[in-house]
Chain A
Amino acid sequence: NAGVTQTPKFRILKIGQSMTLQCTQDMNHNYMYWYRQDPGMGLKLIYYSVGAGITDKGEVPNGYNVSRSTTEDFPLRLELAAPSQTSVYFCASSYSKGGNQPQHFGDGTRLSIL
């Protein structure tokens, strides 16, 4: 039972580089989310999706892009990495709107921008 799978688990980038954080879920959940968590802080929502082909901005979307071509996959793209994007990134999914159903989280991707 894989649940929510994120890759890679760790990554170091140089300023200005780009990369894609992968997220896939096998629970047939419509709702998927990307969060970032800075040290000693709560999670902040970057982007979310309510179904294939539909995405929307969260609280801190600047510097990121997402796509949702399938129900299973919700990749997060960093186009020009900046030191302020050093963080732990969590992908999550839920069966329905997060207000009524718990969100299931992946293990996280620890990203450092140097």
Chain B
Amino acid sequence: RKEVEQDPGPFNVPEGATVAFNCTYSNSASQSFFWYRQDCRKEPKLLMSVYSSGNEDGRFTAQLNRASQYISLLIRDSKLSDSATYLCVVSGAGGTSYGKLTFGQGTILTVHP
């Protein structure tokens, strides 16, 4: 089983749509969770951290379910500029792996007019 698994998509949605991405992780002792965004042929950039209580940043909502080892990202009112690959990222559980990030393969989103 992969350490971090995402549905690779692609997701094709019209502008204004709501879209949700899911991610599961295998190590129950993982400490920190993030969503990164990667535009085509560009470097990954932090979109938002994911907190246990869930958190929102404008049109983006992230949720974490530690019991199910599941992370989600919800994008409301999609914009053309949201088209990108969304990477689910999990931080190491402890010891020498603490602080090291493990990346999912990414979910491709295309928002069309």
Contact B8 A90 (CB under 8 A): no
Query: Which residues of the other chain, A, contact B105 by a CB distance below 8 angstroms?
Result: 40-42
> How distant is the Cα of A9 from the Cα of B43 in the complex, in angstroms?
12
> How distant is the Cα of A11 from the Cα of B103 in the complex, in angstroms?
25
Query: Taking beta carbons and an 8 Å cutoff, which residues of B are in contact with A?
Result: 4, 8, 31-32, 34, 41-46, 49, 87, 91-92, 96, 98-106
Secondary structure of the A contact surface, majority rule? loop
Contact B96 A56 (CB under 8 A): yes
* Interface residues of A, count at CB 8 A: 25
> How distant is the Cα of A43 from the Cα of B6 in the complex, in angstroms?
13
Contact B43 A106 (CB under 8 A): yes
Contact B43 A107 (CB under 8 A): yes
> How distant is the Cα of A32 from the Cα of B96 in the complex, in angstroms?
15
Instruction: Check if A63 is an interface residue, CB within 8 A of chain B.
Output: no
Instruction: Check if A105 is an interface residue, CB within 8 A of chain B.
Output: yes
Nearest-neighbour CB distance to chain A for B34, whole angstroms, equals: 7
Instruction: Check if A14 is an interface residue, CB within 8 A of chain B.
Output: no
Nearest-neighbour CB distance to chain B for A57, whole angstroms, equals: 10
Contact B32 A100 (CB under 8 A): yes
